[in-house]
Chain A
Amino acid sequence: MLRLSKDEAIRFLGKQGILAAFVIFMLVFALAEAKFISADNVLSVIRSSAIIGVMALGVTFVVVSGNLDLSIGSMMSFSTIVVLDLHDKIGPVLAILAMFSLTLLLGALIGFLVGYLRLNSLIVTLGMLSAIHGLTLTYSGGKNMDISDKSSWFSFFGQDSVMGIPVPILIFALLAALLGIILSKTPFGRKIYAVGGNGTAATFSGISRSKTVFFCYLISSFCVATAGLIQASRSLGSQNTVGQGLELEVLAAVILGGASLLGGAGTIAKTVVGVLMLGFIQNGLLLMGLQFYVQFVVTWVIIILAVWLDIAGKRGKLWSPLA
Chain B
Amino acid sequence: MNTPTPVLRLENIVKTFPGVRALDGVSLSVLPGEVHALMGENGAGKSTLMKVLGGIHQPDEGQVIVNERPVVMNGPLEAKALGIVFIHQELSLAEELSVAENVYLGELPTKGFGRVDWHELYQKTDAILAKLKVGFDAKTLVKDLSIANQQMVEIARALTVEAKVVIFDEPTASLTDAEKRVLFDVISDLQANDVGVVYISHRMEEIFKITDRISVLRDGQYQGSVATKDTDEEGVTQMMIGRKLDLTRKESNHELGKIALEVRNLSSGKAFNDVSFQVRSGEVVGFYGLVGAGRTEIAETLFGLRNKSSGEILLNGEVIDVKSPRDAIEKGISLVPEDRKGQGLVLGMNCRDNMTLPQVDDITAGPFVAEGAEIAIFDQYRDSLDIRTPGWKQDVGNLSGGNQQKIVIAKWLSMKPNVLIVDEPTRGIDVGSKSEIHKLLRKLASKGLAVIVISSEMPEVMHVSDRIVAMYSGRVTRTFECGEVTEDNLVQAISGVSKLA
Q: Footprint of B on A, CB under 8 Å?
A: 5, 7, 181, 185-187, 190-191, 193-194, 197-198, 200-208, 264-265, 320-322
Contacts and interface: CB of A to CB of B under 8 A. Distances in A.
B10 to A, nearest CB: 20
B348 A265 contact: yes
Interface string B225-260: 000000000000000000000000000000000000
Given A185-B368, A321-B75, A206 B358 contact: yes
Given A5-B60, A186-B367, A321-B76, A204 B335 contact: yes
A292 to B, nearest CB: 39
A198 B326 contact: no
B305 interface: yes
17 contacts: A5-B60, A7-B58, A187-B361, A190-B353, A190-B360, A190-B369, A193-B346, A198-B346, A201-B342, A201-B346, A204-B337, A205-B358, A206-B324, A264-B346, A321-B75, A321-B77, A322-B75
Contacts of A204: 305, 325, 335, 337, 343-344
A198 B369 contact: no
Nearest to A316: B58
A7 B369 CA distance: 36
Contact of B357 (A194, A320, A321, A322): A194
B360 A200 contact: no
Nearest to A262: B348
Contacts of B361: 187
A191 B342 contact: no
Interface string B71-99: 00001110000000000000000000000
Contacts of A265: 348
Contacts of B348: 197, 264-265
Contacts of A185: 367-369
A194 B358 CA distance: 10
B329 interface: yes
B305 A203 contact: yes
A7 B59 CA distance: 11
A201 B77 contact: no
B346 A194 contact: yes
Q: Return the 3 tightest CB-CB contacts between A and B, nearest first.
A: A197-B346, A206-B326, A206-B325
Contacts of B328: 206
Nearest to A199: B346
Given A186-B369, A190-B353, A190-B369, A200 B343 contact: yes
Interface string B348-376: 11000100011011001001110000000
B210 interface: no
A88 B337 CA distance: 59
A205 B347 contact: no
Contact of A197 (B326, B349, B364, B367): B349
A320 B328 CA distance: 44
A65 B361 CA distance: 18
A184 B344 CA distance: 22
B56 interface: yes
Nearest to B362: A187
A4 to B, nearest CB: 12
B345 interface: yes
Contacts of A193: 346, 349, 353
A186 B349 contact: no
A190 B357 contact: yes
Contacts of A203: 305, 325
Contacts of B369: 185-187, 190
A185 B326 CA distance: 22
Contacts of B349: 193-194, 197, 264
Contacts of B329: 206
Nearest to B365: A185
A64 to B, nearest CB: 11
B326 A208 contact: yes
A205 B325 contact: yes
A86 B382 CA distance: 60
Nearest to B368: A185
Contacts of A5: 60
Contacts of B346: 193-194, 197-198, 201-202, 264
Q: Which of A191, A205, A321 has the most chain B CB atoms closer than 10 A to its own CB?
A: A205
Interface string B366-396: 0111000000000000000000000000000
Contacts of B347: 197-198
Contact of B56 (A190, A191, A322): A322
Nearest to A198: B346
Given A193-B346, A197-B348, A265-B348, A207 B56 contact: no
Contact of A322 (B76, B326, B343): B76
A156 to B, nearest CB: 30
Nearest to B345: A201
Contacts of A202: 346, 357
A208 B324 contact: yes
Given A190-B369, A200-B342, A204-B325, 12 more contacts: A190-B357, A194-B353, A197-B347, A198-B346, A201-B342, A201-B343, A202-B346, A205-B358, A206-B324, A206-B329, A206-B358, A322-B56
Contacts of A201: 342-346, 357
